[in-house]
Amino acid sequence: MGMVVQKYGGTSVGSLEKIAAVAGKVAKRYREGNSVVVVVSAMSGETDRLIGLARRLSPKPDVREMDVLVSTGEQVTISLLAMSLKDLGVPARSLLAHQINIVTDNAYTKARIVHVELEMIRKVLDSGEVAVVAGFQGVTEGRDVTTLGRGGSDTSAVAMAAVLNADVCEIYTDVDGVYTCDPNICEKARRLDKISYDEMLEMASLGAKVLQTRSVEFAKKYNVPILVKSAFSDEGGTLTTTEDKDMEKEVVSGVTYDRNEARITLLGLQDRPGIAASVFTALAEENINVDMIIQNSSADGKFADLSFTVTKTDYDKALEMVRKMLPDLGARDVVGDTSVAKISIVGVGMRSHAGVASRMFEALSGVGINIIMISTSEIKVSCVIDEKFMELGVRVLHEAFELEKEKQ
């Protein structure tokens, strides 16, 4: 008799047959005596189809309306899944964000959940029904529809699990867990049974597309165990949970990459306090996330070069913004490069093991890969390199840290 939140992604509900199969899986958990909340994404391809409609109609679709549009994808799935559950004799009820008050801020297309009302969802579960919740969507205080950005259904699921204090949040997807590396790039990749929130957070933010970053932040904050599993198999699975001793045995848990990086460099910037801040404030106001930042001062300390990375999607906009700011910044020029990629190693073991970064740099230089930018945190080291060496770099690092072997 537990409280279970399950989330099924787009490929898991990609056809009517698959929706019926998901209904079967949900029914099983329900009949075991659990209270079940199911969070679903749009059928695979549907969100892109809707975005395509908007793009063909409008050169720059209004973001408020974009959210009204794309949120229909999840609405279709919840209704179909609820129908299918009822056909199996399982009482079920589809719920839109505004019906259970998944309240977000006003940042259309990438809104953040501010609050989830417990009362509404409780009432549904207490009546013995399976709650079939539309992922990806929220509602503002002013009752506008919002969406949570790509992968937002993960966050919807974790938010439901958090507010309900669920025993587990099961994320069903098209992979059977989190790997030491993308198996498409590195055939020796190994599935991890367990991973800490912090590692998962780094891996998600570094480009491993298993979970939306924000969902892991949420899970960590509210201590929600996330089990990532395949929707099509009962085997495998990776549990993301609080750090334990086992995890520290591994110096590095995984290697990740991100192709969606672009570099922008401001040349000959006047090295005055507040100059860099003004750039990043302006970008933040336009909701452009900056990832890595590096500044080099000239020998005389008067001028500096400032490099930072943004997603390739935001690149054009960011470059244009910075170019307009050039006079105010007193910078000489701005240049950009989209043919870069980021590769990273992640592991809580780094905290207690020295020399991890240098081992990484050596491994890369050993095969002639030049490192353009470096950024480190307590549990990860990232390098920006030439995009064409990305796959090679990933495989080299996987081997250097012996990730194919399970540590005992």
Going from the C-alpha of 350 to that of each of 208, 254, 342, 364, the distances in angstroms are: 19, 12, 19, 18
Q: Which of 39, 113, 145, 343 binds a second copy (CB under 8 A)?
A: 145
- With a CB cutoff of 8 Å and minimum separation 6, the contacts of 245 are none
98 binds a second copy (CB under 8 A): yes
d(CA 25, CA 322): 51
Minimal CA–CA distance to 320: which of 336, 298, 309? 336
The pair of structure tokens assigned to 327 is 């006079």
Between β-strands 130-134 and 35-40, what pairing exists: parallel, antiparallel or unpaired? parallel
Looking at residues 32 to 61 of the shown chain, list those that interact with a second copy (rule: CB under 8 A).
Answer: 50, 53-54, 56-59, 61
* Shortest CB 86 distance to a second copy, Å: 5
Which is closer to a second copy, CB of 83 or CB of 371?
83
Q: Which of 3, 68, 282, 288 binds a second copy (CB under 8 A)?
A: 68
Q: Which of 143, 234, 274, 368 binds a second copy (CB under 8 A)?
A: 143
89 binds a second copy (CB under 8 A): no
Which is closer to a second copy, CB of 20 or CB of 239?
20
* Shortest CB 12 distance to a second copy, Å: 15
One-letter amino acid identity for 211?
Answer: L
19 binds a second copy (CB under 8 A): yes
* Shortest CB 288 distance to a second copy, Å: 22
Residue 95 is given by DSSP the state: E
Cα separation of the two ends of the chain: 34
Which is closer to a second copy, CB of 32 or CB of 65?
65
* Count of residues engaged in binding a second copy, rule: CB under 8 A: 37
Which is closer to a second copy, CB of 144 or CB of 248?
144
16 binds a second copy (CB under 8 A): yes
d(CA 223, CA 203): 18
By the 10 Å C-beta count (0-12 exposed, 13-18 middle, 19+ buried), 63 is classed as middle
Q: Is the torsion defined by CA of 174, 176, 181, 187 positive or negative?
A: negative
Which is closer to a second copy, CB of 140 or CB of 180?
140
d(CA 250, CA 350): 8
User: Which residues of this chain interact with a second copy, rule CB under 8 A?
Assistant: 16, 19-20, 50, 53-54, 56-59, 61-62, 64-66, 68-69, 71-72, 75-76, 78-80, 82-84, 86-87, 93-94, 96, 98-99, 143-145
